Amino acid sequence: MADKAILYGASEGFGAITGWNAKKTTSPETHERKAAHDDKGDEAASKLVGEKTEVSSDYECELDANAIPAAIGALVNSLILTEISIKTSAEAAQMSLRGHNHGANAHAASPALRTATHEISVTAAFGAIDFLGGTAGSDASVVSGDCTIKCDHHDQDDGNGDHLVGENANAMIECVTTWSGVPTVTAEAGWDITVESTEDEATGFIKTVVTGTKKIEMT
């Protein structure tokens, strides 16, 4: 017998992205189950409502000349993008995208939901990036840099339990840079530094970990 016709390889849940290769996608389709019960408390009838598809896609960078979705909250490949998570180190950069849409009254290009342009970029396929824009000085070097761009999303169901309308709000960026050594400047102006800590160990070198957060405007 011949091999079965079963798809091999990772799909691109948010579509092809310049400079990145898809590594894994999950896209569960969910429903909420409503139920009625009889006079003994046993289920007598049920109905599925609120069809929703939530997509999570992981990508790996291969090109310095790459692109990432420019705005959080945007409609990307028919999905509302609510989170971009990037991890950089000596290895190839990794990016995870999260988003969703609905079976009823799906989010669409019109009317467009609110979005926020983030201006974060991955400047190299390999190597740690300090997204906070700090200054190393003479005795420090970035060993890893992570950045998460996200927004809240609020949906309203109709009287039948199906999606009616939705909107985005509260777009934020949070980035974490780990330095070997102590940088002279931990972040450029515009970031609120929520955590700055040093770590040392008996057989290692001192590290400085900096977490910064800032709001980005939604329009």
- Which of helix, strand or coil describes residue 27? coil
Look at residue 34 and tell me if it is in a domain.
no
Look up tokens 């049920």; give the residue: 46
pLDDT of the residue at 1: 83
Look at residue 13 and tell me if it is in a domain.
no
Q: What's the pTM? A: 0.94
Domain hosting residue 117, numbered range? 20-28+47-215
User: Into how many domains does the chain fold?
Assistant: 1
Strand bridging mode 207-215 / 163-181: antiparallel
Look at residue 120 and tell me if it is in a domain.
yes
Look at residue 11 and tell me if it is in a domain.
no
- Interval 161-184 mean pLDDT: 97
Whether 174 shows a pLDDT value over 90: the answer reads: yes
pLDDT category of residue 212 using cuts at 50, 70 and 90: very high
Look at residue 41 and tell me if it is in a domain.
no
Distance CA 217, CA 71 (A): 11
Distance CA 142, CA 135 (A): 10
pLDDT of the residue at 169: 98
